[in-house]
Amino acid sequence: MGRVALVTGGTRGIGAAISKALKAAGYAVAASYAGNTEKANAFAEETGVPVFQWDVADPQACAAGIAEVEGKLGPVEILVNNAGITRDGMFHKMSHDNWKAVIDTNLGSLFNMCRPVWEGMRERGFGRIVNISSINGQKGQMGQVNYSAAKAGEIGFTKALAQEGARKGITVNAICPGYIGTEMVRAVPQDVLDKQIIPQIPVGRLGEPEEIARCVVFLVSDEAGFITGSTLSANGGQYLA
Ligand code: NDP
Protein backbone atom coordinates (compact mmCIF):
# COMPACT_ATOMS: atom_id res chain seq x y z
CA MET A 1 0.00 0.00 0.00
CA GLY A 2 1.21 3.50 -0.84
CA ARG A 3 1.66 6.50 1.39
CA VAL A 4 -1.30 7.58 3.53
CA ALA A 5 -3.16 10.60 2.12
CA LEU A 6 -5.86 12.47 4.04
CA VAL A 7 -8.26 14.70 2.09
CA THR A 8 -10.50 17.02 4.11
CA GLY A 9 -13.93 17.47 2.58
CA GLY A 10 -12.93 14.49 0.47
CA THR A 11 -16.40 13.04 -0.01
CA ARG A 12 -17.98 15.60 -2.31
CA GLY A 13 -17.19 18.00 -5.14
CA ILE A 14 -13.54 18.72 -5.84
CA GLY A 15 -12.47 16.76 -2.73
CA ALA A 16 -14.18 13.59 -3.96
CA ALA A 17 -12.32 13.87 -7.27
CA ILE A 18 -9.05 14.35 -5.35
CA SER A 19 -9.72 11.28 -3.14
CA LYS A 20 -10.49 9.14 -6.19
CA ALA A 21 -7.45 10.33 -8.14
CA LEU A 22 -5.10 9.71 -5.21
CA LYS A 23 -6.56 6.23 -4.72
CA ALA A 24 -6.12 5.49 -8.43
CA ALA A 25 -2.49 6.66 -8.10
CA GLY A 26 -1.88 4.04 -5.38
CA TYR A 27 -2.17 6.05 -2.16
CA ALA A 28 -3.99 4.79 0.95
CA VAL A 29 -6.64 7.50 1.07
CA ALA A 30 -8.84 8.69 3.95
CA ALA A 31 -11.55 11.29 3.33
CA SER A 32 -13.05 13.54 5.99
CA TYR A 33 -16.41 15.31 5.90
CA ALA A 34 -18.52 17.61 8.08
CA GLY A 35 -22.05 16.29 8.44
CA ASN A 36 -23.50 14.89 5.22
CA THR A 37 -23.20 11.28 6.36
CA GLU A 38 -25.52 9.91 3.69
CA LYS A 39 -23.35 11.35 0.91
CA ALA A 40 -20.15 10.28 2.67
CA ASN A 41 -21.33 6.70 3.14
CA ALA A 42 -22.42 6.49 -0.51
CA PHE A 43 -18.98 7.79 -1.52
CA ALA A 44 -17.24 5.23 0.74
CA GLU A 45 -19.32 2.41 -0.71
CA GLU A 46 -18.67 3.50 -4.30
CA THR A 47 -14.93 4.03 -3.93
CA GLY A 48 -13.75 1.91 -0.99
CA VAL A 49 -12.21 5.06 0.54
CA PRO A 50 -12.81 5.15 4.34
CA VAL A 51 -14.60 8.28 5.56
CA PHE A 52 -14.28 10.11 8.88
CA GLN A 53 -16.52 12.82 10.31
CA TRP A 54 -15.27 15.88 12.15
CA ASP A 55 -15.37 19.66 11.95
CA VAL A 56 -12.12 21.07 10.55
CA ALA A 57 -12.83 24.37 12.31
CA ASP A 58 -12.42 22.64 15.68
CA PRO A 59 -8.78 22.06 16.71
CA GLN A 60 -9.52 19.28 19.23
CA ALA A 61 -11.75 17.48 16.74
CA CYS A 62 -8.98 17.66 14.11
CA ALA A 63 -6.38 16.20 16.50
CA ALA A 64 -8.76 13.38 17.48
CA GLY A 65 -9.81 12.75 13.85
CA ILE A 66 -6.22 12.57 12.64
CA ALA A 67 -5.36 10.17 15.50
CA GLU A 68 -8.25 7.94 14.39
CA VAL A 69 -7.12 7.98 10.75
CA GLU A 70 -3.51 7.23 11.76
CA GLY A 71 -4.68 4.40 14.05
CA LYS A 72 -6.44 2.76 11.10
CA LEU A 73 -4.13 3.57 8.17
CA GLY A 74 -0.76 4.71 9.56
CA PRO A 75 0.98 8.10 9.67
CA VAL A 76 -0.44 10.79 7.41
CA GLU A 77 2.28 11.68 4.90
CA ILE A 78 0.07 13.61 2.52
CA LEU A 79 -2.50 16.14 3.66
CA VAL A 80 -4.89 17.90 1.29
CA ASN A 81 -6.72 20.76 2.99
CA ASN A 82 -9.72 20.97 0.70
CA ALA A 83 -12.72 21.45 3.04
CA GLY A 84 -14.23 24.89 2.63
CA ILE A 85 -17.45 26.85 2.83
CA THR A 86 -18.89 30.13 1.58
CA ARG A 87 -21.26 32.49 3.40
CA ASP A 88 -21.60 35.22 0.80
CA GLY A 89 -23.03 38.68 1.31
CA MET A 90 -22.13 42.31 0.78
CA PHE A 91 -19.87 43.58 3.54
CA HIS A 92 -22.39 46.14 4.81
CA LYS A 93 -24.71 43.25 5.58
CA MET A 94 -22.13 40.65 6.66
CA SER A 95 -22.62 39.29 10.19
CA HIS A 96 -19.72 38.49 12.46
CA ASP A 97 -20.96 34.86 12.53
CA ASN A 98 -20.58 34.61 8.74
CA TRP A 99 -17.15 36.22 8.87
CA LYS A 100 -15.97 33.85 11.60
CA ALA A 101 -17.44 30.66 10.13
CA VAL A 102 -15.68 31.23 6.81
CA ILE A 103 -12.35 32.25 8.37
CA ASP A 104 -12.40 29.34 10.85
CA THR A 105 -13.42 26.69 8.31
CA ASN A 106 -11.23 27.72 5.38
CA LEU A 107 -8.17 29.25 7.09
CA GLY A 108 -8.33 28.15 10.74
CA SER A 109 -8.56 24.56 9.50
CA LEU A 110 -5.08 24.82 8.01
CA PHE A 111 -3.60 25.38 11.46
CA ASN A 112 -5.89 22.74 13.01
CA MET A 113 -4.98 20.09 10.43
CA CYS A 114 -1.29 20.82 9.79
CA ARG A 115 -0.28 21.17 13.44
CA PRO A 116 -0.99 17.52 14.46
CA VAL A 117 0.75 16.01 11.38
CA TRP A 118 3.70 18.41 11.22
CA GLU A 119 5.90 16.84 13.91
CA GLY A 120 5.60 13.38 12.34
CA MET A 121 6.42 14.72 8.89
CA ARG A 122 9.51 16.46 10.29
CA GLU A 123 10.65 13.31 12.08
CA ARG A 124 10.18 11.10 9.02
CA GLY A 125 11.79 13.68 6.71
CA PHE A 126 8.91 13.57 4.26
CA GLY A 127 5.59 15.33 3.85
CA ARG A 128 3.30 16.81 1.24
CA ILE A 129 0.67 19.42 2.07
CA VAL A 130 -1.63 20.92 -0.55
CA ASN A 131 -4.05 23.71 0.35
CA ILE A 132 -7.04 24.30 -1.92
CA SER A 133 -7.36 28.08 -2.04
CA SER A 134 -9.29 29.97 -4.74
CA ILE A 135 -9.00 32.47 -7.57
CA ASN A 136 -11.06 34.74 -5.31
CA GLY A 137 -8.26 34.75 -2.76
CA GLN A 138 -5.95 36.04 -5.49
CA LYS A 139 -8.16 38.71 -7.06
CA GLY A 140 -10.78 39.45 -4.37
CA GLN A 141 -14.49 39.03 -5.08
CA MET A 142 -17.34 41.38 -4.34
CA GLY A 143 -19.75 39.76 -1.87
CA GLN A 144 -17.00 37.51 -0.54
CA VAL A 145 -14.88 39.63 1.79
CA ASN A 146 -14.79 36.75 4.28
CA TYR A 147 -13.98 34.07 1.70
CA SER A 148 -11.44 36.20 -0.20
CA ALA A 149 -9.65 37.02 3.07
CA ALA A 150 -9.56 33.37 4.16
CA LYS A 151 -8.36 32.14 0.77
CA ALA A 152 -5.68 34.85 0.54
CA GLY A 153 -4.64 33.85 4.06
CA GLU A 154 -4.21 30.28 2.88
CA ILE A 155 -1.65 31.48 0.33
CA GLY A 156 0.37 33.32 3.02
CA PHE A 157 0.17 30.30 5.30
CA THR A 158 1.43 28.11 2.45
CA LYS A 159 4.41 30.34 1.68
CA ALA A 160 5.51 30.62 5.32
CA LEU A 161 5.10 26.96 6.22
CA ALA A 162 6.86 25.90 3.01
CA GLN A 163 9.99 27.69 4.19
CA GLU A 164 9.85 25.93 7.57
CA GLY A 165 9.42 22.49 6.00
CA ALA A 166 11.90 22.82 3.17
CA ARG A 167 14.93 21.31 4.92
CA LYS A 168 12.82 18.45 6.28
CA GLY A 169 11.56 17.08 2.97
CA ILE A 170 8.14 18.62 3.41
CA THR A 171 6.55 20.60 0.60
CA VAL A 172 3.59 22.93 1.07
CA ASN A 173 1.75 24.26 -1.97
CA ALA A 174 -1.54 25.96 -2.80
CA ILE A 175 -3.88 25.44 -5.73
CA CYS A 176 -6.23 28.23 -6.78
CA PRO A 177 -9.13 26.84 -8.80
CA GLY A 178 -11.33 29.11 -10.88
CA TYR A 179 -14.94 28.14 -11.66
CA ILE A 180 -15.19 24.37 -11.33
CA GLY A 181 -18.28 22.45 -12.38
CA THR A 182 -19.26 21.13 -8.97
CA GLU A 183 -22.91 20.69 -7.91
CA MET A 184 -22.90 24.24 -6.51
CA VAL A 185 -21.70 25.87 -9.72
CA ARG A 186 -23.84 23.65 -11.97
CA ALA A 187 -26.89 24.72 -9.95
CA VAL A 188 -26.43 28.25 -11.32
CA PRO A 189 -29.05 28.79 -14.08
CA GLN A 190 -27.66 27.85 -17.52
CA ASP A 191 -28.49 31.33 -18.78
CA VAL A 192 -26.30 32.95 -16.11
CA LEU A 193 -23.51 30.47 -16.79
CA ASP A 194 -23.67 31.11 -20.56
CA LYS A 195 -24.06 34.90 -20.48
CA GLN A 196 -22.13 35.98 -17.39
CA ILE A 197 -19.73 33.35 -16.12
CA ILE A 198 -18.35 31.44 -19.12
CA PRO A 199 -17.51 34.65 -21.07
CA GLN A 200 -15.09 35.60 -18.26
CA ILE A 201 -13.13 32.37 -18.81
CA PRO A 202 -10.75 32.52 -21.79
CA VAL A 203 -10.85 28.73 -22.41
CA GLY A 204 -14.64 29.08 -22.73
CA ARG A 205 -15.80 26.47 -20.24
CA LEU A 206 -15.93 25.55 -16.56
CA GLY A 207 -13.12 23.47 -15.10
CA GLU A 208 -13.71 19.88 -14.06
CA PRO A 209 -13.03 18.62 -10.50
CA GLU A 210 -10.73 16.00 -12.05
CA GLU A 211 -8.55 18.79 -13.47
CA ILE A 212 -7.88 20.04 -9.93
CA ALA A 213 -7.34 16.47 -8.75
CA ARG A 214 -4.61 15.96 -11.34
CA CYS A 215 -2.80 19.07 -10.02
CA VAL A 216 -2.88 17.52 -6.53
CA VAL A 217 -1.57 14.14 -7.72
CA PHE A 218 1.36 15.94 -9.35
CA LEU A 219 2.20 18.13 -6.34
CA VAL A 220 2.13 15.28 -3.80
CA SER A 221 4.30 12.91 -5.83
CA ASP A 222 7.78 12.04 -4.61
CA GLU A 223 9.09 13.59 -7.85
CA ALA A 224 7.67 17.07 -7.04
CA GLY A 225 10.06 17.66 -4.14
CA PHE A 226 11.57 20.82 -5.65
CA ILE A 227 8.18 22.57 -5.83
CA THR A 228 7.28 24.24 -2.55
CA GLY A 229 5.58 27.46 -1.49
CA SER A 230 4.05 27.76 -4.93
CA THR A 231 0.55 28.80 -5.95
CA LEU A 232 -0.78 26.85 -8.90
CA SER A 233 -3.58 28.70 -10.70
CA ALA A 234 -6.07 26.42 -12.46
CA ASN A 235 -8.67 28.83 -13.79
CA GLY A 236 -8.85 28.58 -17.59
CA GLY A 237 -6.95 31.86 -17.92
CA GLN A 238 -9.54 33.88 -16.00
CA TYR A 239 -7.00 35.55 -13.73
CA LEU A 240 -3.30 35.66 -14.51
CA ALA A 241 -1.59 36.07 -11.14
P1 NDP B 1 -18.37 21.22 -1.70
O2 NDP B 1 -19.30 22.15 -0.99
O3 NDP B 1 -18.85 20.49 -2.90
O4 NDP B 1 -17.79 20.14 -0.66
C5 NDP B 1 -17.24 20.57 0.53
C6 NDP B 1 -16.65 19.42 1.30
O7 NDP B 1 -16.05 19.96 2.48
C8 NDP B 1 -17.69 18.42 1.76
O9 NDP B 1 -17.11 17.12 1.82
C10 NDP B 1 -18.04 18.92 3.16
O11 NDP B 1 -18.55 17.91 4.01
C12 NDP B 1 -16.66 19.39 3.63
N13 NDP B 1 -16.73 20.38 4.68
C14 NDP B 1 -17.35 21.59 4.68
N15 NDP B 1 -17.22 22.20 5.86
C16 NDP B 1 -16.51 21.36 6.66
C17 NDP B 1 -16.10 21.37 8.01
N18 NDP B 1 -16.36 22.42 8.82
N19 NDP B 1 -15.42 20.30 8.50
C20 NDP B 1 -15.14 19.24 7.71
N21 NDP B 1 -15.50 19.17 6.42
C22 NDP B 1 -16.19 20.20 5.90
O23 NDP B 1 -17.06 22.09 -2.04
P24 NDP B 1 -16.25 22.29 -3.42
O25 NDP B 1 -15.86 20.97 -3.97
O26 NDP B 1 -17.00 23.24 -4.28
O27 NDP B 1 -14.95 23.06 -2.89
C28 NDP B 1 -13.82 22.39 -2.37
C29 NDP B 1 -12.72 23.40 -2.09
O30 NDP B 1 -12.39 24.08 -3.29
C31 NDP B 1 -13.14 24.49 -1.10
O32 NDP B 1 -12.05 24.82 -0.28
C33 NDP B 1 -13.52 25.64 -2.00
O34 NDP B 1 -13.39 26.86 -1.33
C35 NDP B 1 -12.51 25.48 -3.12
N36 NDP B 1 -12.91 26.08 -4.38
C37 NDP B 1 -14.04 25.66 -5.06
C38 NDP B 1 -14.36 26.21 -6.28
C39 NDP B 1 -15.55 25.75 -7.08
O40 NDP B 1 -15.77 26.26 -8.18
N41 NDP B 1 -16.32 24.79 -6.61
C42 NDP B 1 -13.55 27.29 -6.87
C43 NDP B 1 -12.40 27.64 -6.08
C44 NDP B 1 -12.10 27.05 -4.89
P45 NDP B 1 -20.15 17.54 4.01
O46 NDP B 1 -20.40 16.83 2.70
O47 NDP B 1 -20.33 16.69 5.19
O48 NDP B 1 -20.87 18.85 4.06
Distance between CA atoms of 105 and 147, rounded to whole angstroms? 10
Nearest to 6 by CA among 84, 82, 61: 82
- How many helices (H) and strands (E) in the chain? 10, 7
pLDDT of residue 201 exceeding 80? yes
CATH of 4-179+210-234, picked from 3.30.230.10, 3.40.50.720, 3.30.1330.10, 2.40.50.140, is: 3.40.50.720
DSSP annotation of 16 reads H
Lowest mean pLDDT among 62-66, 170-174, 185-189: 185-189
Nearest to 228 by CA among 130, 155, 162: 162
Q: Write down the pLDDT at residue 131.
A: 99
Q: What pTM, to 2 d.p., does this model score? A: 0.98
Q: Write down the pLDDT at residue 183.
A: 84
Q: Catalytic annotation on 239?
A: no
The mean pLDDT value of the chain amounts to 97
Q: How far is CA 70 from the centre of its chain?
A: 20
Ligand 1 touching residue 196 (CB < 6 A): no
% of residues, the chain, pLDDT over 70: 100
Nearest to 105 by CA among 69, 147, 56: 56
SS (H, E, C) 187-206: CCCHHHHHHHHHHHCCCCCC
pLDDT of residue 187 exceeding 90? no
Q: Where are the domains of the chain?
A: 4-179+210-234
6 alpha carbon – ligand 1 mean position (Å): 14
228 alpha carbon – ligand 1 mean position (Å): 24
Could you report the predicted ipTM of this complex, rounded to two decimals?
0.99
Q: If you average pLDDT over residues 53-80, what whole number do you get?
A: 98
